[in-house]
Structures are given as C-alpha cells and as structure tokens.
Chains A and B, each alone.
Chain A
C-alpha cells in the first residue's frame, strides 16, 4: 500500500492512527486528484470506483447482516497547490449491517484548490453508521471545499456523523447536509470548526427531516471565528405529520475573537405533529475572562490560553 507522506502527516495532525491506516488488510480507499492510489475491500464490504476526468465516483456497500468491526479509512486529497477534485460517493448499508468510516480530506499545499463532494448515503433497516470526516486545508487559505450530503435513514437505523476542521486554515467551506429519518431512527450530526483568519469563510447548513414515529435527532454546531474568520451555522429540524413522539434538538455554540470576525447561528425548527417536540439553544460570545485569567495564572500566554479555551468550546 502506498500512501503519500503528506496524506499521513495531515491525517496524524487530525488525530488519526496512521499506523492502523497502513496496516495490511485494513479496508481503505486513498485518492489523490482523480488517481486511485490504493483500495482494499473486505468480505462483506464492497468498494468500487470509477475514474472521472476531474475526480472519482465511489460505491461502498456493506452486505446484509455484516458488521465491519475495524474502521474503513477514506482519504481524498490534492497534493499540488492548484487543482480540482470531484468525489461522488454512494454509501449503502444493507439491512442489519454496521460500518465505521474514518474519512480524511487533505489539501496541504492549497493555494487554489477546489474540492466538491456529492455523497448519497442510505442506511437500510436496522443498520448503523459511524462516520467521521476530518479536513486539513493547509495554511494558505487557498481551498474551496463544497461537500454535499443526502442521507436516508430507514427504520430503526442509527447514524453518528462528525465533521471536524480545527487544524490550519479553511479558505471557503460550504457544507449542505440533508437527512430524512424514518420510524425509530436516530441521527446525530456534529460539526466542529475553527476559522482562524479573514480569508476563512464557512457556511454549514444541516437539515434533518423527522418523517417517522419515534425518530430522534441532534444537530451540534460548534465553532470559533478568530481574527476575521466568518462562520455561519444554520441548523434546521422539521417534524412532519407522521413524526409522532419524535424528538429533535439543535445546539449552536460559537466563540468570537478579534476584529472583523463574524459568527452567526440560525436554528430553525418546525413541527407538524402535536406529539413531537423540537428544541434549540444557541449562543455566541467572547472568550471567558475568568477562564483566560486562570490559564494565564498557570503560565500560559494569552494566545496559548485562548487556543485552549477554543478547543474546549469546539468539541
């Protein structure tokens, strides 16, 4: 298996176990621009790819009743400073299956990189998906990243979806996620973003549609807009007429630091079934002075203390 060093370095920066990533037999798919560097499926887990002119179409399928115990690593990136990549994944978990995906997108030298992703995910009856996606966009504010997710959760399914971008610069990031939840399904959508400079411009829109009885959802949007960074969070949860006894919650928390930074949180909730309940909470504020003084009294400089506090909020 050949993984570019820059991929490994960036995955390590984002907290991944790079030794495990390189272990033989571990399921994975590594793509640089539109080149498939390495692919490994496993019994019960099918990974297929089709090379496109500027990217790759991917199909990942977990067969009925198969529970993949070890995580599947997906790594997509562009190593050149300039380039465009389009990734079109389709992930299907068949009935009663289970999968954990650790995805990493990296553009470590980006000065003018465009990465677009259109993902379709379907969780069939009683399946479970744990999906974590970390990003590293280098330090030059030169990436434009547009991931788009359409997710369908059939009856009795479970989804944990995490998006994390806390290292390096961001550039432009626009995420759109829409999920439909059927009866007895659960979805937790968690985003953690730190925008560190005035060229960082983030917009995240998570929309969950509770369409079935006893469906439950949680949207967590945590961010820090620092030194001119701009972050817009929009979380929407709707409970339809069919969503009897469904529950949903949206939690938006942002911290704002420095001149010209901008943070906005828009929770939207709507309910059509009188026995459903959706709640939300949102807060935007500056760094807590008491926390700052406590850490500085422990020997941390102001910059170190702020970084520590931000890491706590964006978690």
Chain B
C-alpha cells in the first residue's frame, strides 16, 4: 500500500515567488525507507517542508496524497495529527522547557514509558535527559537525537527526517545507522530520509536524486548514488560504486 503519493508537484517560495521544485512525482510504500539525495540547494528541505505543510512554501501545481487522502491544502498540524511527522534539520531550542515536557507536548497519547523508550532508541539515557532543559546547553548532536525522539513519540505513519546526520561527527554515522534501523523496526513507520551519506543511505528500499528542483532519477539506492556522484563530479566514488555493484 502506498503511504505517500506526490504527483507533479511544483512549489514556489512565498517570499520571492521563486520556483524551487518542478514537477516532482514519487511514491513511498508502507513500512519502507525512501532516501532522497541531492546537492545543497537542490530543494530537498523545501520538499520536506512542503510535504508537512509549512506555509512559507506555496504549491503552484500538483497534489500530495497521504494514506490515500489529498492533504495539499491541510494545515501543518492536521497533517501531523494524521501521522505525518518531520524531524527538522536544524531543530529549534526551547528555553525554559524540559526535554520531558517537550516530548509530552509532541505526543498526545504517549505514556511516560513510551517517552523513555523513545529516548532509549535514540541513544539517550532517560534518567539523564528527561529533566534537562531544551536550551543551548544541549549539544547539537543531543538536540538532533531529541528531535528524532520527538518524532518517534508521535507514533507517525511516515517520518520525514531532514538530514539527521548533518553536523554530526563522522564516528556517529554508524551509530545513527543503527538508530534509524532501530526506529524502523520498533515503529513500523515508513521513512523519507534526506541525506548525503551513503553510510546511512544503504538502509533505503527506494531512492531519488533531486537536482535543481527536479527529481532527475528514481530507483535503487546504488544506482541513484552513481547518478549523484556523476552529477557532482565525484568520479572516484562513482567508479568504486560501479565496481561494488558488479
């Protein structure tokens, strides 16, 4: 069953009416992982924001279907309540709010145990973190993990994770791979994962390559990665991937 269908989607920024996404179409199957890659400025985050309904972006043509229902005109919070969740690339800090209260606000029906389990899943010890404040005293890595936990406690049907790996130390990639794998197994949610990292991208069932606002290629992750490396001039990497494939 298709959980998300995007049909001929074109999007512009409300501020300057500049077109950012052009005629995008793709689908995500239930319980699958779709990895979206593309160079900086290709429109990956705009696509994530448009799917979740952030009003800074305007759909000029095309439609979005979630669980078979058209959601293109639904406000952000109604999409979230249907089970569509976005983990932001640069999550917001909340002065004066504890991690526990933030996670409770994100999950209408989650029990304390589920909140603690979500923290466990992202590799944070609940006892240490529940009472911590959501302010700048959290490291960016800790804040990113809490962002993931806040998506998990929503019990979404589809998680859109916008570069959960950006700004993290290279050593953490393996751990992040495990975290994402754990999330997939523990939640049964589909995942739309935006990343540059092959180390994480190998989780993908399907992948897409976004370039200059257009989805130029869809298919298996390895194939998409080859196209990506060709496009951004990473020839060595491209050769390695081709060899690995054969």
Contacts and interface: CB of A to CB of B under 8 A. Distances in A.
Interface residues of B, number: 22
Contacts of B77: 296-297, 299-302, 305
Nearest to B108: A299
A314 B94 CA distance: 12
Contacts of B95: 312-313
The dominant DSSP class at the A interface is helix
B91 interface: yes
Per DSSP, chain B at the interface is: mixed
Contacts of A302: 77
Interface in B47-75: 52, 54, 75
Interface in B106-145: 106-108
A291 interface: yes
A295 interface: yes
Interface string A273-303: 0000000000000001011011111111110
Contacts of B88: 290, 293-294, 297
A58 interface: no
A293 B76 contact: yes
Nearest to A305: B77
Given A294-B88, A308-B105, A299 B96 contact: no
B97 A296 contact: no
A298 B106 contact: yes
B32 interface: no
Nearest to A300: B77
A313 B133 CA distance: 12
A260 B101 CA distance: 31
A299 B54 CA distance: 12
B92 interface: yes
Contacts of B76: 293, 296-297
Interface of B: 52, 54, 75-77, 80-81, 85-86, 88, 91-92, 94-97, 105-108, 150, 154
22 contacts: A288-B92, A290-B92, A291-B92, A293-B76, A293-B88, A294-B88, A294-B91, A294-B92, A295-B105, A297-B52, A297-B80, A297-B86, A297-B88, A298-B106, A301-B77, A308-B105, A309-B94, A311-B96, A311-B97, A312-B95, A312-B97, A313-B95
